[in-house]
Structure 1
Amino acid sequence: MWYLYGFVLLAGVANAVQAGQNGALSKGLAESLTAGLVVAAGTATCILVVGLLSGKLTWPTAAQALAMPWWAWFGGILGGCIILAQFIVARQIGAAPFLGLLVTSGVVTSIVLDHFGWVGFDRHAASLWRILGGLLMVAGVALVAAF
């Protein structure tokens, strides 16, 4: 299971690199929304190829689709908002503050989601150590953004 943590670490590196790539694409094209469509097409192609090669790509049945919570269908919209933030903000504030804010806000939000068991997560209490870790991340991002 240790390899899963390695995969996440690589995804974090990719997230930092992607912000720069998306910023350059947005700057080089006439409209940043066009760049967003290019990125979305690349994302869809990657998932399609991996899904077809692994044999794990299937469409949901009607029963599965109806049993799904309504909010579960909107993750792609949130992903699009992240990409738009990369286009609009990352170049202007820099990679370190952008990724620091992105990751830290994600961790702080995750502590709340875990604590209450929202959006499908199992409950994990917001212990003093988790809260302290979130606060330390906020302080770290403040230092990165200030200097």
Structure 2
Amino acid sequence: MWYLYCLVLLAGVANAVQAGQNGALAKSLGWSLSAGLVVAAGTATCILVVGLLSGRLSLPTMAQALEVPWWAWFGGVLGGGIVLAQLLVARQIGAAPFLGMLVTAGVVTSILLDHFGWIGFERHPATVWRILGGLLMIGGVALVATS
């Protein structure tokens, strides 16, 4: 199980590095949305290669596709929004405030999603400790963003 946490830590590092890479790509190409298409093509290629190499890539059946909740189809749109934020905002505010706000907003939102069991998550109550952790993260981001 520890290797899963290591994978998440690596993804966090990649998220911080990716914001800078995407910002540099947008600056070099002179138009942020062109950079977004390059990023999307790289993402699709990565998923395709890993899927093919692992043997876990398959198209859903019509029955499977019809069972998917309507809102679940829009995860890619949200991912595109994250990439757009990296392209348009990260360079202007800096890596630490950008990623701090991104992660903190995600944690605070996750506390709500867990508490109410929304969008397919198991219910995990918003305990005092979870709420305190979210508040501490907000305070930490405030310190990073104003320094």
Aligned to 2:85: 85
Q: CA deviation at 1:31?
A: 1.1
Structure 2 distance, partners of 1:26, 1:120, is 35
Structure 1 distance, partners of 2:59, 2:31, is 33
CA-to-aligned-CA distance 1:64-95 (integer Å, 9 cap, x gap): 00011000010000000000000110000000
Structure 2 distance, partners of 1:30, 1:8, is 32
Aligned to 2:62: 62
Aligned to 2:125: 125
Aligned to 2:146: 146
Query: Structure 2 regions of 5+ residues with no counterpart?
Result: none
Aligned to 1:8: 8
Query: Structure 1 regions of 5+ residues with no counterpart?
Result: none
CA-to-aligned-CA distance 1:87-120 (integer Å, 9 cap, x gap): 1100000000000000000000000000000011
RMSD of equivalent CA atoms: 0.4
Structure 1 distance, partners of 2:117, 2:126, is 11
Aligned to 2:40: 40
**AA at the equivalent of 1:81:** G
Structure 2 distance, partners of 1:104, 1:138, is 6
State the secondary structure of the residue aligned to 1:110: helix
**AA at the equivalent of 1:107:** V
- Is 1:30 matched up with 2:47? no
State the TM-score, normalized to the length of structure 1. Answer: 0.99
CA-to-aligned-CA distance 1:36-72 (integer Å, 9 cap, x gap): 0000000000000000000000000000000110000
**AA at the equivalent of 2:45:** T
State the secondary structure of the residue aligned to 1:58: coil
